[in-house]
Chains A and B, each alone.
Chain A
Amino acid sequence: MITTLLYSMTGLILFAMGLFTLIIHSHPLRKILAVNVMSTGVFLILVAAAYKPLGLGKIDPVPHAMVLTGIVVSVSVTALALLLACRVQETSNLDLLERRKQEARPKESNQ
């Protein structure tokens, strides 16, 4: 029992940490990582549900399968999110450059 609880609590704390990070940090990469941490936490709780102390029955394979599926989904989403974050960074940098240029122009004309 204590095993299940330990794993579950750890998972929950991971989830909470991820959540907090996701909320307060603005950098995209941190956010993506935070989400990953969160999902790890959830998977941990899920896997803990499958645990049975020896002799008390069979280990439940369904959470395992679910975690596997979840991981794959998480991987895909993470990949996509990272790519998207990169694109955003690039374009926002480009944007920033252009905006600066534009801001500079009227100043010059004023001078």
Chain B
Amino acid sequence: MNWGQWLLTAILLSSFIPGIIIFALPEKKHRLRTILNLCGSILKIILILAMDTGIYFGHNFEIRLPIIPGVELLLNGDPLSALFATLSSVLWLLTTIYAVGYLEGSPNRSHFFGYFSLCVTVTIGIALAGNLITFLLFYEMLTLTTYPLIIHRGTKKSLRAGRNYLIYALSGGAVFLFAVVALQTVVGTTDFTGTGFPSTFIDTHATVLSLIFVLLIIGVGVKAALVPLHGWLPQAMVAPAPVSALLHAVAVVKAGAFGILRIVLDVYGPQNLLLLGVLPLLATVASITILYGSLRALQQDDLKRRLAFSTISQVSYIALGISLIDQPLAVIGGLVHLVHQGLMKITLFFCAGNLAETLGIHRISEMDGVARRMPLTMAAFSIGALGMIGIPPTVGFVSKWYLGLGALAAGNWWVVFILAVSSLLNACYFLPILIRAWFGKQQGSWPEEQYLGRFETRLMLLAPPLITAFIVMAAGVVANAQISPLAWVRFIVREYGL
């Protein structure tokens, strides 16, 4: 093994080993557990940054583990995986801090944090997967590791949510498996090559390959919550806030979207897909999802549910961007939205969690004037929400801008229309919240108010959303700088030669 392989292994182990230790730790050792968690996540960020640097300078990171002929595990660090891995690891650190604060005093924490760490290990595994089989491996493991988190509260509702999540995710996984095997059978490899399989296969197997593409997209679309495969996501919001953050921003939904990116960019490759002509289908589904998610979000009074539908809508931007594969600008928009959506949505969920934890607020109708009680939280929330709408200078605007430009370049006016309508709808469901919070008058007392810590709530609950909100702003303001998600995404697109 060379140092690159050691690095990849270390990246995976840096959360896996803490996870296993945490499982073994007795429930009462809070401090040790927290230290382990934080050390693991900081170490992971450092390692991933090292990998990023290596990737930027063209180093090749790869581990191959043949299992049987035709099936091999392949971990591979390329710019795209670096993007996702960096996002996940940074957000994991914040989510860990948040979760420590959020779950203070609640039972079963060792269980929770154990799965939490495993979940992140698996997510990083998804990021680093170098072929569809490895991707599938981690993809399925993600389902298994998030399931205990979703049902962590053990209530009937959460159990039902967990069950539905499983039904959706595992069915999707099964379809995915089928498609992967089929692809392997037809093409002979599922490696992420950057250009896709040789286009000679298109001549011979066009129909089958199109069908497989659809199946693959269905497989990952379940996690990416493409309509009509989105049913699990709004229900899963019964989970504790850190888990929601994990689901929506760090791991699950992102894994689905990342899968779409991988399939389009690496497995099939732009050229092949243009030949097959299946991308308009993806674009259509993504557009429907964007509109549908927004419309459903409008109807929700439960804050987290509204956010969940918003995720459904927002994540499809990624799919929409990537479906305009011949336009590098659109691809940039889609890719960078992977990061941006994560940052924004995690801010929103953190804030929603803060409201629930500190004031017992779960519904939007209870939020009147809440910004006076928790100005910092709501400031972070507002930034996240404005970002979702796409108000400059937040990152949301950057994604939308590139998407729009790309769509125009492709001559797809209707995509611009979708973007416009979706922005309007986003405004329709986010602005009223902000108005209530900032300008509404408090009605009665808060449902369950607690005074936690010196600030408006516990510092560990307050800091993560503020940090992410700051990043949402800052990453937008300096979008064009040398080090920004956008810059990295441009690097990716350059690497893919689009």
Indicate yes or no for A touching B, C-beta below 8 A: no
